[in-house]
Amino acid sequence: MKKTILITGASSGFGLMLANKLHQDGFNVIGTSRQPEKYAQKVQFKLMRLDIDDDSSIQSFTKELFAYTKQLDVLVNNAGYMVTGIAEETPIEIGREQFETNFWGTVKITNALLPYFRRQKSGQIITVSSIVGLIGPPNLSFYTASKHAVEGYFKSLRFELDQFNIKVSMVEPVWFKTNLGENAVAATGGSIRDYDVYRKQVQAATQKGMDEAEAPDAVVCTITKLISKKQPKFSNPVGKMTGMILFLQTYAPKMFESAIFKSVKTAK
């Protein structure tokens, strides 16, 4: 029997590419979007309404999901967005909203589906995190914090779910060419003059990283492979230099930090 795979945030970016690929591979794919009516005619897989920020939306979605299908094998947590800006200039409320989606929304939709996975004594949860969930670059403090929170939560959860044969994995991409950067929310707090020069430098460095990013095929490939494995790894960094970045952070932190400082200072 072909697997049924649920992908949140499947109307754009990684989610859309993954949903199309898995559909083409013969899986039963169900995607979610806040506004499925805008995209339903453009995709071949089932697209359902879900706002992971809204408890009532999660509740109604769960009912509709299992009215539509009695089988669910894989949950791919992909929905989320990015806040950019100097930490001190970013209003706390903007940070709270970042966590409401990236962390709490991800946790709440996962919890809504766990009873089903527990009853069937099987399942797989794959969460799209980010390399910044493992490191801490400038200009992304709240986004980085939300991804660190997600990493920690699922790192603990996987032990609790092992007894039910529920596999838990994280995927941590570097910059890839998706609409994540285009849809990023910039900090709207007041500018602090002391950061004026640095702000321009770090924004230039961030933009340079996005401009030089590779196509996201590697992320889709990584998730597809995880779905096919009996014992998938928990942490799965994806992209050029990820191994070196994590090695330097662990074993040569001064060299790692110097590279970040240099990249910001030389950005134009």
Question: What is the reported pLDDT for 223?
Answer: 97
For residue 174, the model assigns a pLDDT of 86
pLDDT for the residue numbered 204 = 84
pLDDT, position 41: 84
Predicted confidence at residue 186, as pLDDT, reads: 73
Question: Does some domain include residue 259?
Answer: no
Q: Is residue 268 part of a domain?
A: no
Q: Cα dihedral angle (35, 39, 41, 42), rounded to 10 degrees?
A: -170
Query: Total domain count for the chain?
Result: 1
Task: Report the phi/psi class of residue 78: left, alpha or beta, with left for phi > 0 and alpha for psi in -120 to 50.
Answer: alpha
pLDDT at 183: 60
- Distance from C-alpha of 53 to C-alpha of 257, rounded to nearest angstrom: 35
- Asked whether residue 202 is domain-assigned, the answer is no
Q: Per-residue pLDDT for the chain (268 aa), expressed as one digit of tens each?
A: 799 999 999 998 889 999 999 999 999 999 999 999 998 888 999 999 999 999 999 999 999 999 999 999 999 999 999 999 999 999 999 999 999 999 999 999 999 999 999 999 999 999 999 999 999 889 899 999 999 999 999 999 999 999 999 999 999 998 766 656 556 667 777 889 999 998 888 888 777 777 776 778 889 999 999 999 999 999 999 987 788 778 777 777 787 677 776 677 665 5
Q: Both tokens of residue 83?
A: 């806040």
Instruction: Characterise 32 by phi-psi region: left (phi > 0), alpha (psi -120 to 50), beta (else).
Output: beta
pTM given for the model: 0.91
Q: Is 143 a catalytic residue?
A: yes
CA 36 to chain centre: 20
Please report whether residue 206 resides in a domain: no
Q: Which of 39, 81, 116, 143 is catalytic?
A: 143
Q: Residue 101: which CATH number?
A: 3.40.50.720
**What is d(CA 102, CA 127) in angstroms, rounded to the nearest whole number?**
11
pLDDT at 202: 85
pLDDT of residue 214: 78
Q: Is 237 exposed, middle or buried (0-12, 13-18, 19+ CB in 10 A)?
A: buried
Q: Domain span at residue 124?
A: 4-196+214-240
The per-residue pLDDT for 178 is 61
Residue 262 lies in a domain: no
